[in-house]
Amino acid sequence: MRKPRSICAECPALEKGLCGALRDDELARLGAVTRHRTFPAGHVIHAEGEVPPSFCAILSGVVKLMKSLPNGNQQIVGLARPGDFLGRPFGGEARASAVAASEIKLCWFPRATIEGLASESTAVKDWLFEHVADELERAQEWIMLLGRMTAEQKIAAFLMTVLRDQRAQQTDAARTSGDVIIELPLSRTEIADYLGLTIETVSRQIARLRERKVISVGNSRTMVVHHPEVLEDVVESALPGERAKEALRV
Partner DNA sequence: CGCGTCATTGAAATACTTCAACGACCGTGG
Partner DNA sequence: CCACGGTCGTTGAAGTATTTCAATGACGCG
68 belongs to the binding site for DNA (CB under 7 A): no
Query: How many residues bind to DNA according to rule CB under 7 A?
Result: 21
90 binds its own copies (CB under 8 A): yes
Q: Is 75 near its own copies (CB under 8 A)?
A: yes
- In angstroms, give the least distance from the CB of 250 to its own copies: 21
Least distance in angstroms from the C-beta of 7 to DNA: 30
Residue with smaller CB distance to its own copies, 66 or 209: 66
Here's the x/- map for its own copies, 186-215, by CB under 8 A: it reads as: -------x-xx-------------------
Site for DNA in 133-152 (CB under 7 A): 150-152
62 binds DNA, rule: CB under 7 A: no
* Alpha carbons 250 and 246: distance in angstroms, whole number: 7
Is residue 43 a contact residue for DNA (CB under 7 A)?
no
For 242, residues 6+ apart whose C-beta sits below 8 A from its C-beta are none
Residue 92 in the binding site for its own copies (CB under 8 A)? no
Answer yes or no whether residue 245 interacts with DNA by CB under 7 A. Answer: no
Q: Is 207 in the site for DNA (CB under 7 A)?
A: yes
CA distance 25 to 29: 6
Report the distance separating Cα 58 and Cα 80, nearest Å: 8
The binder of 189, among DNA, its own copies, none, by C-beta within 5 to 8 A per type, is DNA
Say if residues 158 and 152 touch (Cβ distance below 8 Å).
Answer: no
Q: Does 189 bind DNA (CB under 7 A)?
A: yes
For the beta sheet containing 180-183, the strands, ordered from the edge strand earlier in sequence to the opposite edge, are 180-183, 222-225, 215-217
Is residue 206 a contact residue for DNA (CB under 7 A)? Answer: yes
CA distance 106 to 158: 25
Among 37, 110, 196, 216, binds DNA (CB under 7 A): 196
The answer to whether residues 46 and 86 touch, using CB atoms and an 8 Å cutoff, is yes
Q: How far apart are CA 221 and CA 223, in angstroms?
A: 7
Percent helix, percent strand, percent coil in the chain, to nearest 5 = 45, 20, 30
DSSP string, 158-205: HHHHHHHHHHHHS-GGGGSSS-EEEE-SS-HHHHHHHHT--HHHHHHH
List interacting residues with its own copies (CB under 8 A). Answer: 65, 67, 69-75, 77-78, 88, 90-91, 95-96, 122, 125-126, 128-130, 132-133, 135-137, 139-144, 146-149, 193, 195-196, 236-239
**Which residue ranges make up the site for DNA (CB under 7 A)?**
150-152, 187-189, 196-204, 206-207, 217, 219-220, 240
